[in-house]
Structure 1
Amino acid sequence: MKEYIVNSIEKKQINITGKGEDVLWNHAIELTDFCSPWDREKPSKITFKALWSSEKLFFNFTVADSSIHIEKKDDSIDSINNSDRVELFFRPDDSLNPYYCLEMDTEARLMDFIAYPNKNLNFDWNWPKKDILIKSSINKDTFIVEGSISIQSLKDFNLIKDNKIETGIFRAKYSENEDGTFEPTWITWVNPNTETPNFHITSSFGRLILK
């Protein structure tokens, strides 16, 4: 299983602005090992960083993209689902019964849900709002999605075990076809080795190590 080391900033707190400017991010290891196993072209660069304190897990996606697609019909699940976004999945164990999904677009809209085996998704469930913060920014050639999740909520969902969090880290990139429709390219940290794109599977997860 792939592993990523999440360094501790002890009792300090990162100022989440959506711009990733806090100097504490200098303590994070950069994760750039992403692939799109079902697409011939190499995906544009994604840099993921995470840190943790006694109270929060902090995360930062910086994605190279000069042609962002976002559907702004409303803030519905369908609208977010049809937009460029980054994703974090967490699971207590490899049974995926349940697992928790956070999908965040370039305007920091959140599609959060609980899921069960065989892609049984429950969109009536939400991560407690008091326990999660997400902000974003769009630049000329990149976008940033930055956020924090309370350590207590991760513990409440039984997601931290021996200072390890089993996690999927993903991106969906939408590109326009000749007929004007948009089609997603699926990008992942861990190659699940499936014939067609599928993140909702045991083999798509790696492990965050809280140091």
Structure 2
Amino acid sequence: MAKELKNYEVHLVEENLLEITGKGDNTLWKNAQVLTDFCSPWDSEKPSKIEFKAVWDRENLFFCFTVSDTMIHIDRKDDSIHSIGSSDRVELFFRSNHAMNPYYCLEIDTASRIMDFVAYPNKKFDFDWNWPQNNMAVKSSIDDSSFTIEGVISILSLKMLHLINDNKIETGLFRAKYNEKEKSIFEPVWISWVNPETETPNFHTPSSFGVLHLIE
């Protein structure tokens, strides 16, 4: 029997009233369910608190990560895929079905840099692909106790990519945290909403996904 996917309810808000600022301070976020159920199955240390929220207004899906962390690592050599992929970031993966052929990945660091790509089974990544233009935006901010990454994705683009089925979006929610082990040598800790129950860290597997359920 297939394992039931974890579920997060995305509540409906009034259209055209939520403008992202990167601070997650719009009053409409009070309508959102607060998700804090993140784990790091491959690391003995409990990760710092992560809050995820999402709402929608029939035109757009809005999301917000607030991470209680002030020791932020960002690779500023350039804006390349390698640089973003070596920085503290949050991630959203979307798939149309369990086969994950294909699935779509958004990885966003604390400078609002986006690594978006399409992926296929066995970690085949196409970094030349981009999310449909003008259908996604992110902003971020850092304060003295946390960082926030806030984003908006059009419902139209999710439908174009066949990612909404019966008002449900199969989604992986993740964080990469880089800790300095030696001078200028950083190693990642991998954090996930859903424990994929893999021996080694792996977000690119069907067992790492849950469901964002758009509630009317």
TM-score range, shorter chain: over 0.9
1:32 paired residue among 31, 36, 39: 36
Mapped to 2, the partners of 1:175 and 1:129 lie a distance apart of: 34
Q: Which amino acid aligns with 1:104?
A: I
2:23 aligned with 1:19, yes or no? yes
Mapped to 2, the partners of 1:36 and 1:43 lie a distance apart of: 7
Mapped to 2, the partners of 1:124 and 1:130 lie a distance apart of: 17
- Provide runs of 4+ in structure 1 moved above 6 Å: none
Q: Which moved more, 1:38-47 or 1:172-181?
A: 172-181
**Structure 1 partner of 2:214:** 210
**Structure 2 partner of 1:147:** 151
**Structure 2 partner of 1:122:** 126
2:45 paired residue among 30, 41, 47: 41
Mapped to 2, the partners of 1:150 and 1:178 lie a distance apart of: 42
Q: How many residues align?
A: 211
**Structure 2 partner of 1:109:** 113
**Runs (5+) with no aligned partner, structure 1:** none
2:61 aligned with 1:57, yes or no? yes
| RMSD between aligned residues | 0.8
Q: Which moved more, 1:65-74 or 1:176-185?
A: 176-185
CA apart distance, 1:54: 1.4
The TM-score with structure 2 as length reference comes to 0.96
1:91 paired residue among 88, 95, 117: 95
Q: Which amino acid aligns with 1:70?
A: I
**Runs (5+) with no aligned partner, structure 2:** none
**Structure 2 partner of 1:79:** 83
2:201 paired residue among 191, 197, 200: 197
Percent identity, please.
Answer: 63
The TM-score with structure 1 as length reference comes to 0.98
1:9-66 per-residue CA deviation (whole Å, 9 max, x = no partner) reads 1424311010111100000000000000000010000000000011100000000111
Q: Which amino acid aligns with 1:83?
A: S
2:189 aligned with 1:185, yes or no? yes
